[in-house]
């Protein structure tokens, strides 16, 4: 028993000192694997992504509104291409982020990533136990639709030309992660019950609201269990790209999770997905009119999970 305890302690110490990459190589920690789900598909969707309908075109009267009511008539202040985004964890261990700050005078929380032990299955449940500092922060979003702590930079989306040039960037920057839906994957490390460390964590993440109504909190925890995902519906604030000034043509809507590799994963090969769309302004116009009274027609050309480029020169 003493030898087992010593081995566990040594494993945690090695992971803390040399980082999770080496720790994984010697079998000490279980890493998550974030997969960007198909663009515009509901969380957990397992069918043909060409049939996904969780996206639309939303003309709004107020260009400054974070979401706004889609209008059918009248002056149009902005045209938004809205779409659901989802990220799955298909790895060996949970994605787990701890945030902490000294006092309420510190606006943001420092963040660390925690890793489940491959030795005894334990999961670090405090900021102090988390093994790896990460160069991002958590902040409290006071907007009525949120009022909880957000992790910065987890996911980004862009509109790109067929040549790969960035045309429009997103305005969304914060995320509250939890187990919002199960994936259809058969994964050996998916939590099987509520008694194991990962099972107890999953029970927490299923209900996680990231410190809702707690701007005074000094700590916060969020993440995604193995075999689960986190989604943001296309009706949520800032789940859109502004296409008001975009010329007619074919473009890629590109979603990327953990694009800067701030978070340590088992693999980074599945972090991007894209959807090719055709944008056509009324009357065959090349560019949008000075005063917009009708939105452009937007049609999905194809959906390309697992890659950052979908449109081709033949589209």
**Both tokens assigned to 15:** 């992971």
Which DSSP helix (H) or strand (E) runs through 262? Answer: none
CB 158 within 8 A of CB 254: yes
The confidence band for 26, taking pLDDT boundaries of 50, 70 and 90, is low
Instruction: Report strand pairing: 132-141 vs 148-152.
Output: antiparallel
Residue-wise pLDDT for 123-156, tens only, equals 999 999 999 999 999 999 998 888 999 999 999 9
Instruction: Report strand pairing: 228-232 vs 85-89.
Output: antiparallel
- The domain limits of the chain are 2-304
Distance (Å, rounded) from C-alpha 8 to C-alpha 1? Answer: 11
Residue-wise pLDDT for 224-233, tens only, equals 999 999 999 9
Of 199, 205, 137, which Cα lies nearest the Cα of 174? 137
pTM of the model: 0.92
Please compute the mean of the pLDDT values over residues 192-196 and round it to a whole number.
Answer: 90
Please compute the mean of the pLDDT values over residues 54-74 and round it to a whole number.
Answer: 92
Distance (Å, rounded) from C-alpha 82 to C-alpha 52? Answer: 13
Residue with tokens 């005063």: 291
For residue 287, the SS3 value is: coil
The confidence band for 74, taking pLDDT boundaries of 50, 70 and 90, is confident
């Amino acid at each position: 028993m003493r030898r087992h305890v010593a081995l566990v302690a040594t494993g945690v110490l090695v992971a803390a000192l040399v980082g999770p990459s080496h720790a994984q190589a010697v079998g000490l920690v279980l890493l998550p694997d974030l997969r960007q789900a198909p663009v515009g598909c509901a969380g957990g969707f397992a069918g043909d992504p060409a049939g996904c309908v969780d996206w639309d075109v939303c003309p709004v009267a107020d260009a400054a509104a974070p979401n706004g009511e889609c209008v059918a008539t009248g002056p149009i202040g902005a045209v938004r291409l809205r779409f659901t985004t989802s990220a799955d964890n298909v790895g060996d261990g949970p994605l787990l982020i701890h945030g902490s700050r000294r006092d309420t005078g510190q606006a943001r929380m420092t963040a660390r990533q925690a890793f489940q032990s491959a030795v005894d299955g334990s999961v670090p449940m405090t900021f102090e136990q988390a093994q790896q500092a990460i160069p991002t922060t958590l902040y409290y979003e006071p907007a009525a639709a949120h009022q909880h702590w957000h992790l910065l930079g987890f996911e980004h989306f862009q509109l790109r030309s067929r040549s790969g040039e960035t045309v429009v960037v997103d305005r969304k920057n914060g995320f509250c992660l939890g187990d919002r839906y199960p994936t259809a994957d058969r994964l050996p490390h998916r939590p099987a019950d509520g008694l194991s460390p990962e099972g107890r964590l999953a029970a927490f993440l299923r209900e996680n609201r990231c410190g809702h109504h707690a701007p005074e909190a000094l700590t916060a925890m969020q993440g995604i269990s193995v075999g689960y995902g986190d989604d943001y519906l296309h009706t949520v604030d800032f789940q859109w790209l502004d296409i008001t000034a975009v010329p007619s043509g074919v473009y890629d809507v590109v979603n990327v999770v953990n694009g800067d590799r701030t978070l340590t994963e088992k693999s980074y090969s599945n972090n991007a997905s894209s959807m090719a769309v055709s944008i056509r302004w009324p009357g065959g116009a090349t560019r949008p009119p000075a005063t917009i009274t009708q939105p452009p027609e937007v049609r999905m050309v194809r959906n390309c999970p697992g890659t950052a480029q979908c449109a081709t020169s033949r589209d």
